């Protein structure tokens, strides 16, 4: 199992729309994530801020990277730009800042 994490930032007022879009996650997207080795994907909101923290457990880096080629993922990323900060207007994907693991307790 491989752990990855990243930070995103909500647009002002974007939390409820972002939450609704994920509950439930569209079945085609959930299936694509599962089919590409995603074991667990968790997103947390830092209360009082617009910061989101995402943690994902995957089976294989190359299978996970292939998600970027799927229309269902590209369409989802584009939809999420209405709720998340982007580099510039019209971007196809929101800003995701990778986080480096510095500590883990348990089996690796």
Indicate whether this model's pTM tops 0.75: yes
Dihedral over alpha carbons 83, 23, 20, 42 (to 10 degrees):
-40
Residue 26 domain-assigned (yes or no): yes
For residue 68, is pLDDT > 60?
yes
Domain containing 58: what range? 2-98
Question: pLDDT band at 91, cuts 50/70/90?
Answer: very high
For residue 6, is pLDDT > 90?
yes
Residue 106 domain-assigned (yes or no): no
CA 86 to chain centre: 14
CATH of the domain at 18: 3.30.70.100
For residue 107, is pLDDT > 90?
no
Question: pLDDT band at 7, cuts 50/70/90?
Answer: very high
Enzyme catalytic residues: 22
% of the chain residues with pLDDT over 90? 94
């Amino acid at each position: 199992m491989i752990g990855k994490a990243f930070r995103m930032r909500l647009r002002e007022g974007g939390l409820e729309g972002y939450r609704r879009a994920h509950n439930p996650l569209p079945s085609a997207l959930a299936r694509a994530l599962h089919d590409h080795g995603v074991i667990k994907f968790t997103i947390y909101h830092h209360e009082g801020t617009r910061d989101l923290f995402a943690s994902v457990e995957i089976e294989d880096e190359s299978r996970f990277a292939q998600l970027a080629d799927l229309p269902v993922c590209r369409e989802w990323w584009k939809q999420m730009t209405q709720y998340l900060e982007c580099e510039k207007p019209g971007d196809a994907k929101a800003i995701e800042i990778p986080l480096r693991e510095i500590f883990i307790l348990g089996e690796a």
